[in-house]
Amino acid sequence: MDSKNQKIIEDAVRTILTAVGEDVNREGLLETPERVAKMYAEVFGAVNTDFTNFTVFDSTEDDVDQEVITVKKIPFYSMCEHHLLPFFGEVSLAYIPNDGKIVGLSKVPRLIGHVAKKPNVQERLTSEVAQKLDELIHPKGIAIVVRARHMCMEMRGVRSVGNITETTYYMGEFKGDLAKQSLFLQQA
């Protein structure tokens, strides 16, 4: 984030704090606008960026195209685009390689982290992770489940603490195959 945009955020935070009745010159709040601007630069770091840190490998295993590769319970944090409050949880993702194309396992959490670093809704985060993986390696199938808690439901509104929202997205061989979907969800 450039210094001009950081200053805009700092000024906006001061305005919000003043509007809710706080004294922005109070000792505990003096550096808050700067801290919030730096935090926004981090948690919204994927806005207007492409995911480029991805390596595709050609597997030497003959039967890799028949295997389901699953990465489970990957933690993520994102910000609800409706209230700018966090939602967080875990992602489990499976894919069936095509033409021996596989990814380094550390790349899946990086992809999820990248997609999560912008204002989001869980439904779009779920589908976008699958669609980005599809663009990168064109697997035979993808299954993804995202389970998350939403602070916009827990801190305000209904104040329903501890609820888990679950979203799923299927592509290729997983789409429409209830047996494959069921097996994935049991293991995820």
Q: Is 152 a known ligand-binding residue?
A: yes
Q: Is 138 a known ligand-binding residue?
A: no
CA distances from 29 to 38, 77, 128, 132 (A): 15, 25, 37, 40
C-alpha–C-alpha distance, residues 31 and 124, integer Å: 34
In the annotated binding site for Zn(2+), the residues are: 80, 83, 152
Binding site, annotated residues: 80, 83, 152
